[in-house]
Amino acid sequence: MINIIIGLLILSTAAMYWSNLVEGEVSIAPVIGLMFGCLYSYQQLEKETEYTLQFCLFIVSITVEWKSTNGLKK
pLDDT tens-digit map of 30-44: 989 888 899 999 999
Q: What pLDDT digit, counting tens, does each position of 10-21 carry?
A: 888 888 888 888
**CA 47: distance to chain centroid?**
22
- Give the pLDDT score at 72: 56
The reported pLDDT for the residue numbered 19 is 82
pTM for the full model? 0.74
Whether 20 contacts 8, CB under 8 Å: no
So what's the pLDDT on residue 11?
81
The pLDDT value recorded for residue 37 is: 92
The CB density around residue 51, as the number of other CB atoms within 10 Å, is 16
- Taking each continuous run of H as one helix and of E as one strand, the counts in the chain are 1, 2
User: With contact defined as beta carbons under 8 Å apart, do 8 and 60 qualify?
Assistant: yes
Cβ neighbours of 55 (radius 10 Å): 20
Residues paired with residue 43 on neighbouring β-strands, in sequence order: 50
